[in-house]
Amino acid sequence: MSAGQFAVFGHPIGHSLSPQIHQAFAHQFGLELGYRTIDAAPEAFEAAVRAFFAEGGRGANVTLPHKAAALALADESSEAARRAGAANVLTALPGGRLAAHNTDGDGMVRDIAERHSVDLRGHTALLLGAGGAAHGVAWALLDAGVRTLTIVNRTPESADALADAIGDPARAHTRYWEDLAELGAFDLIVNATSAGVLGKSLDLPFAIVGNRALCYDLSYGQAAMDFLAWARTAGARFAFDGLGMLVETAADAFELWHGQRPDTDPVYARLRQQYG
C-alpha cells in the first residue's frame, strides 16, 4: 500500500539517517513510501517546502538550520513547537495549510527513560547550550521531573532568554560558562551545543559530573565522541549519544503521518550496530 511522499529538509542533509529510519518503520506495516532528502539553503527553504507540499508531499522532517523557519511558515503549531520556537516536523493539512510539531524533547526523554531505564525525577540537570536544540528539550526535562535545570551558554543573553521563556525561576536558572568549575556536581548533563558538529572542544571541568551522573549528547556518531569520551573519563555512570533520540523523534513523526506507532527497538539496534 502506498503511503505517499515524505522528505527531510536540511543544509547540509546528505548525512541524514531519516530515509533509512522511515523506510524501516514503513516495512513494519507493509507500507511503501517515497522518502528523500532535500538540501535547501536558508534563503531557499520556504520555497522548497511549499513546492514539496504543492506537489503532493504529505509530511516532512526538518533539521538544522531550518527548525525556526519551519515553525514560522506553518499555519498551525503544537504547544511543544511554540514553546521551543522551532519545529522538526511539518504535516500537510487540507487546503494547502501546514501544521508544525516539535518532537525533540519527548524523543530524548523517551530514549533516556524507556530505552536506557533512567528515571529523571529529582535529578539536578545541567543544560549546555541555549540555542534551538536546547529550546527543543528544556521543557521536556522539566516535565520529566528534574528538580533543577541550570542553563549555561557562552553567550549569557541566550541562556537568560531561555530561562525567561520557561518562566520557572525556582527550577530553571542560568549561570555563567566561566563559572562551571564552581557549580558543583550534577546528576544529568545534556550537551545541546554545536561544538561536536563543528569539531570544537568544550573543555569542560570534571567537577560537574556527579557520582551517578548521566551525560547525554543530542548529536550522535562522530559529533558526540569527544563529549562522551570526556564523560567516561570524568567517571559518569552513563554516557549516551542522541541516536536513540533520533529514532524516537522519527517514530513520533511517523505516527503523526500514518496513525500507527512503529517499534523503535529493532531500528535502533540495527543503526547502533552500523554506526557504533
Catalytically active residues are 67
Cα dihedral across residues 271, 120, 191, 251: positive or negative: positive
Residue 89 grid cell: 516536523
> Bridge-partner residues for 2, per DSSP?
32
Name the region of 195 (left: φ>0; alpha: ψ -120 to 50; beta: rest).
alpha
Distances in Å between the Cα of 2 and the Cα atoms of 6, 22, 53, 98, 258 are 12, 14, 17, 21, 11
- Number of other residues whose CB lies within 10 A of the CB of residue 17: 19
On the question of a cis peptide bond just before residue 12, with omega within 30 degrees of 0, the verdict is yes
Q: Which amino acid would we find at residue 2?
A: S
| Listed residue (229, 214, 213, 216) closest to 190, CA to CA | 216
